Amino acid sequence: MTSAVQTVHFVVPSDIDATPSGGNVYDRHVIDRLGIVGRVPAEHPVAGAWPHPSPADLDRLDQALAALPDRATVVVDGLIGSAAPAVLARHQRLRLILLMHMPLSTPEEAAALRSVSAVVTTSQWTRRLVSSWYAYRGDRVHVAEPGVDARPIHPGTAAGTQLICVAAVTPGKGQDILVDALATLTDLEWTLDCAGPLDRDPAYVDALRKQIDAAGLTDRIVLGGVRTRWNGDLLCLASRGETYGMVIGEALAQGMPVVAADVGGVPEALGRGGLLVPPDDPASFARAVRSWLTDPHVRADLRTAALARRSSLTGWDETVRRFAAAL
């Protein structure tokens, strides 16, 4: 029988495999690969409107934790744990680890941190925020950056006109900024494929469609929904906030350059594999894309930079090793 010391319990949202998100993908990779470091994962999905739980959601979490053995190591996804400080406080007989994908920056999260033994973040940027915002002990905050699976190199087209944005279509991902930027580039050839869930914020999607129509770009910009496979010439990510930006690693793994907003942990993910522009700045984004589209030397340099960054990307097995070391 596997001992409690060898077993790592994971409390995760019940939609871990149904809802595409960076946090869910990260959780799944870590859980599925934990065996490479000699640990046995035990998964405990908890249904709820996390991180905005109802009393019934909190009761389900309480019951899940109550069923675990004393002194068990329990990793609680941050969407759940950061929103449930009172529940965590009732289970101090467990060794609780908070896996923080995106800080909520709430009083509840501050209280939750007082009940956990350690925090694992997915970027150095998040680690610094946890330490500074909450005055949380730095030696108890660990980083295990997302990995990326190896991918064949996608050479792209000579003119580089196939732009792609891979992200849920929500205000935080800034597709409206991209539309404003690209509306100033109608003198050039390009198309934009927005690949990502369309059901997270229907009002925003509707407003975005109207914005695209008003800009006369309906024949150039496609809101294509979730895609299991995607490629293009240039990844465009205008996010208003990112703790890391896993899609950046996925693009670079194909040798695809990136233009991204300089927010959160994006510089960590990008390295020198693309261009950073100021956030919420369509004009700067437009200048970066124009240089890509009009100057073959810029395209060649960025493709070389992306390939160089590709060679230094961390694989998921290394992520799991770092994660296990934090336990």
The string of DSSP codes covering 161-211 is: -EEEEES-SSGGGTHHHHHHHHTT-TTS--EEEEES-SSS-HHHHHHHHHH
Tally the C-alpha atoms within 13 A of residue 49's C-alpha that lie toward its C-beta. 6
In sequence order, what are the residues at sequence separation of 6 or more whose Cβ sits closer than 8 angstroms to the Cβ of residue 138? 127, 131
Quickly name the fold that domain 162-310 has: Rossmann fold (3.40.50)
Q: Residue type at 37?
A: V
Angle between helical axes of 202-214 and 175-182 (0-180°, round to 10)? 0
pLDDT at 4: 44
pLDDT at 227: 83
State the CB neighbour count (10 A cutoff) for residue 294: 14
Rounded Cα distance between 89 and 44, Å, is: 19
Q: What residues in the chain have per-residue pLDDT under 50? A: 1-5
pLDDT at 132: 86
Query: Which residues on neighbouring strands pair with residue 98, listed in sequence order?
Result: 76, 119
Q: What is the pTM of this model?
A: 0.91
Rounded Cα distance between 225 and 308, Å, is: 30
The tens digit of pLDDT for each residue in 259-289 reads 999 999 999 999 999 999 999 999 999 999 9
List Cα–Cα distances, 186 to 54, 181, 183, 221, 286, in angstroms: 48, 10, 6, 12, 11
Delimit the CATH 3.40.50.2000 region(s) of the chain.
7-143, 162-310
Quickly name the fold that domain 7-143 has: Rossmann fold (3.40.50)
